[in-house]
Amino acid sequence: MVSMAEEAKKIKEDIVAWRRKLHQNPELSFEEVETSKFVQEKLTELGIEFQAPVAKTGVVGIIRGEKSGPTVALRADMDALPIQDEKDVPYASKVSGKAHLCGHDAHTSILLGAATLLSQNPPTHGNIKLLFQPAEEGLAGGMHMVEEGVLENPKVDAIAGLHVHPTADTGYVTVCPGVAMACADHFDLEIIGKGGHAAHPHMSIDSVTVTAQVISALQQVVSRTLDPLVPGVLTIGKIDGGYARNVIAPKVRLEGTVRLLDPELRKTVRDQMDQIISGVCNAFGATYHFDYQFGYPPVQNDNSLIPLLEETANKVLGENTLSVVKPSMGGEDFSYYAEKVPGIFFRLGIRNEEKNCVYPNHHPLFDIDEDALPYGSAMLAEFALNYIKKHTKESVLTNPLPK
């Protein structure tokens, strides 16, 4: 029996080289043109059939078995973030203001590694789809992939994805049963006052001071509106307003996000926010524009897949390497796949203090322990093959796939 862990170690240098190339050349959401070309080149070298472009810059590879059986999808996202890379390493981003600081370069390289392993050890039955997805960072590339039919022809029976994460050490993986990640909504708010001279505030309506009251009051939505036992986060991440120290700003713009594990609470939170903003603005004579948008749905793991994930971890990483953890309030558009088919989304540990791989995702110094890369490839490949083996029906074992 082939050991995926041992086979993955043999191609570690390739996976690391791929990751570093992608890390040096980051591309933002729906701009992953060169990344997509790179993926297509590697799949061509491996002799893997693929379709591109899908969802503008996505790539879908497929490895077909000789006989009919289940279809498993493996997913990786490809886009970078609009953040300056501050790492002092030879493979730092070459593009000013753009960097792979969430690990999507690693995800893409890991899936290419899994593709390599599976091309050498293809399933006898069924199919394995390789989904290289654009635009996870806020633009719902997963939704577009689903809309363009990546879960069909052949129909996907289960999907797996991973995310590199510094909350676990290299050589370990974690998973959360049920709702694993929050729905990720966003809002834009404009507080409109009346500008004027800083020396004569009585002749103006100070949008800055009104905004300060609104920000303080909005924190009551989570602390006093939601059940204390129900997780919720309301964060205002950007404020823009004013001209000079001696000018009362006529308006202030704010951008923020709301995270909830229970999507049924979205409307409640939105309506409560609107009520608070209206009340504060009316009290001070200001007006406002409030735009609340529902974003990614929550990631729902199919608990029936967790035993298979644990079995895979035991085989690839060793006994007791999988831990069950609490949900994250982060958002992930893997949710669009898991809404349609049984899905499992887990975290691959990449923390290594000796290598200074300790910074959180989206931090300017975020980096990964590259020793984890072959572990990720082996985990995905082993999971796909194990799923097919366990779910291939006896009645179709001798039936070839339709031409």
| Tokens matching residue 114 | 């899994």
SS3 state at 12: helix
User: CB count, 10 Å around CB of 171?
Assistant: 18
Q: How far apart are CA 32 and CA 77, in angstroms?
A: 10
**C-alpha 357 chain-centroid distance:** 19
Q: Is 79 a catalytic residue?
A: yes
Q: Give the contacts of 331 (CB within 8 A, at least 6 positions apart).
A: 181, 182, 183, 184, 259, 295, 296
Q: Is the separation of the CB atoms in 258 and 272 below 8 Å?
A: no
Cβ(192)–Cβ(356) below 8 Å: no
Per-residue HEC secondary structure of 224-263 comes to HHCCCCCCEEEEEEEEEECCCCCEECCEEEEEEEEEECCH
Of the candidates 32, 77, 79, 367, the residue annotated as catalytic is 79
Q: How far is Cα 197 from Cα 204, in angstroms, rounded to an integer?
A: 8
Residue 310 bears catalytic tag: no
Catalytic residue among 27, 136, 206, 369: 136
Cis peptide before 364 (omega within 30 of 0): no
Catalytic residues: 79, 136
